[in-house]
A and B are shown apart, each in its own frame.
Chain A
C-alpha cells in the first residue's frame, strides 16, 4: 500500500492519539463501577472508527497494528499484545462491515465495534488460560459494551464534526 506523505503523517498522528487514549483510559477505571476483569472504556476505538471512515480499512489496519505493538512494547507485556490485537482486529472487522451499511449511524457501528472488541478479548483470555472460564464474563461485558460503544461513537462524532471544515473533508 502506497501512502502519500500526508497520509503517512496522519496515520502517525492517529497512532499516537490512540496510544495516548489507551494510556489515559487507565486513569478512568471503569472497573470501579463495573467489577469485571478487563472492562474498560475502549477509547482507542475512537481512532479506529475515525480512521476507518477517513482513511479506509487498509490504513486503519496499519494504525491498529502499530498502536497495539507499541502499546505492548511500552507496557513491557507480551500478553497485552495478544489481548489488544484480538480485541482491536475483531472490532475493526465488525466496524468495517457495519460501516458499509447506509442504514447505520456512527453509534450503531461503534456499539458493534465495542461488542466485537470484548468478544476478541475473551477469545484471547480463553487462549491464554486454556479453558472456557472467561466466557462467564462475556454476557456482562457485552451489556457494558452497549454503553462504551455509544460513548466512543459520541466522541468520534465530535471529532468528525470538529474536522468538518478542514482539509480532511475537502478534495
Chain B
C-alpha cells in the first residue's frame, strides 16, 4: 500500500506580515512551519502504516527550496520517502494549479490513498483535496476525524460536518482531507531527527507533471482592518452591568 501525504509549508502564524505598497505582494518575517492540519495527515498516515504490512508513506510538498524543512519534519515523524516539487518562491498559489501539479505527481507515483490537511492556514482555501480527487477521478471525503482500514481495498471513515457525523465506506484509491481531532501528532524522536538531518531531498520541476496554467489571479492584497477598541462595562452588580450593556447595544451599536 502506498499513502501519499501532501504537506505545505506556510508562514508561521506568529510571523509578522505586511502588504507592500503596490498591494501585489507582501513582506514577511522568515518564520515558516508545517501547515497545522497537514501534521494530522502525516500522523494518520503513519498510524495506518503501523497497522498494515508493506505500507509506504510518501510526503510531498509543492513550494520553494525552503519547503524542504517540512519534508524533513515529516521524515523525523517517520515517513519513508519525501519529494519536493520546487516552485521558485513562497507565494499563495492558485489551488487548481496546485491540485493539477500534485495530481500529476500522484499519477506518476501511483497511490492507494492520498491524505491532506483540510485546509492550509495561509490561504484558507481548503479545496486542493477535493480538486485532487476530481483530477484523479477517485472518491473524496473531507473533514475526516476517524479512519479505520477494512482491508487493502476499502476503508471506513468518519467525517464531521456541522456538528453531525457521517460514516462512509470508501473504496480505495481515494483522497481524504483530515481535520483537528483525528489524532495527536507525535513528537519526533532522536532517531527520526537524525534521519531527517541526513536525508537528501529529491526535487522535481512542476513541469515534469504537465503544463498547467492558474485559473485565478490575485489582484490585490489587503491587511485586515484594525479592530475597534474593547469596551469594558463597569458596574457594581451584574444587574447594573447588564442594564448598561443593553443600553449600549440599543443606543451605540444600534443592534437591538
A and B: interacting chains: no
